[in-house]
A = this chain, B = another copy of it.
């Protein structure tokens, strides 16, 4: 078997790619701007040029076993990027086909959260676990579900959209998916900022967050204020953790995972989020599951995580 895989993480702004060996070491990595080219073929051309430069510089020509790609709304079964995604090209995009034709190397693609789950299972906090749920807390809430050692794709490749479980049935917040009350509308970085704005409007107590124009408040601002002891900001994290913990209880009755693994910007809030999250899990868990599921933080270095996760998929590309 050839000794390397290539991992590509396609985000709305940057496309990061890296050459990875069998032990999960990122040998070298680089990036291009995703949105520079209005035509997908021009984008693939630039990607090819830059990737080949990286491969040649690391003496890896003809040594790449497969290419794994993580991208928003990427479907493992069809190899395409489906509708409803923030990329500059018309969808659906037959990405696996385009890349494998250009590179002459087998390609497998999946969405970013599934890629993260595969990376965590192969190289991170989920090593040795056969049943876990990866939750990515970023601009949105993504998820990658692993059951019996296999990523759950569902009958159509779209399974694992746990950010769109309904956590508030009445009077819920509008979500990017067009519905209301989704987990993502509350427990993403965006959701945290929305909660802060809501609390600031409804409550009258002082808060250092009142020094920031209300529509410019970010989750980072809320984090900073909470760390500095701001009561309202801490309440925002309590609220967020409680909703997430209650949602974890519903996920638990579905697949009874051994662990929930948190990844993404908001996961770095540490105990501010984890404490109310664990409390909500203890208080709301069905009896037979009490105390069973661990909540772990991703062990992948953030700079490498997306590329590593995607690359792990490269080993199974054919």
- Which of A185-193, A271-279, A280-288 is the contact stretch? A280-288
Bound Cα distance from A148 to B149, whole angstroms: 12
- Which of A13-21, A58-66, A153-161, A262-270 is the contact stretch? A153-161
Could you show 7 A-B contacts with beta carbons less than 8 Å apart?
A152-B254, A160-B253, A166-B249, A177-B286, A179-B286, A251-B254, A254-B254
Instruction: Give the residue name and chain of the B residue nearest to A151 (CB).
Output: B148
Bound Cα distance from A168 to B83, whole angstroms: 32
Kindly state whether residue A130 has any CB partner on chain B within 8 Å. yes
**B256 touching A156, Cβ below 8 Å:** yes
Bound Cα distance from A251 to B162, whole angstroms: 9
Instruction: Specify which of B131, B153, B164, B292 is in contact with A253 (CB 8 Å cutoff).
Output: B164
Complex interface: chain B residues within 8 A of A179 (CB) = 284, 286
Name the distance in Å between A273's Cβ and chain B's nearest Cβ: 20
Kindly state whether residue A165 has any CB partner on chain B within 8 Å. yes
Instruction: Specify which of B148, B158, B249 is in contact with A289 (CB 8 Å cutoff).
Output: B158
Complex interface: chain B residues within 8 A of A159 (CB) = 147, 253-256
Given A147-B147, A158-B289, A286-B179, do A253 and B84 touch, yes or no (CB 8 Å)?
Answer: no
Binding site for B on A (CB under 8 A): 82-84, 129-131, 145, 147-148, 150, 152-162, 164-169, 177-179, 246, 249-251, 253-258, 284, 286-289, 292
Instruction: Give the residue name and chain of the B residue nearest to A257 (CB).
Output: B155
Q: Chain A at the B interface: mostly helix, strand, loop or mixed?
A: loop
Complex interface: chain B residues within 8 A of A158 (CB) = 256, 288-289
Complex interface: chain B residues within 8 A of A249 (CB) = 166
Instruction: Give the residue name and chain of the B residue nearest to A259 (CB).
Output: B155
Instruction: Specify which of B83, B154, B254, B258 is in contact with A256 (CB 8 Å cutoff).
Output: B154
Name the distance in Å between A199's Cβ and chain B's nearest Cβ: 19
Bound Cα distance from A137 to B150, whole angstroms: 29
Most B CB atoms within 10 A — which of A130, A162, A169, A249? A169
Bound Cα distance from A82 to B286, whole angstroms: 14
Instruction: Specify which of B156, B246, B250, B287 is in contact with A292 (CB 8 Å cutoff).
Output: B156
**B154 touching A131, Cβ below 8 Å:** yes
Bound Cα distance from A159 to B255, whole angstroms: 5
Name the distance in Å between A248's Cβ and chain B's nearest Cβ: 11
Bound Cα distance from A162 to B165, whole angstroms: 14
Complex interface: chain B residues within 8 A of A289 (CB) = 156, 158
**A165 touching B253, Cβ below 8 Å:** yes
Complex interface: chain B residues within 8 A of A84 (CB) = 287-288
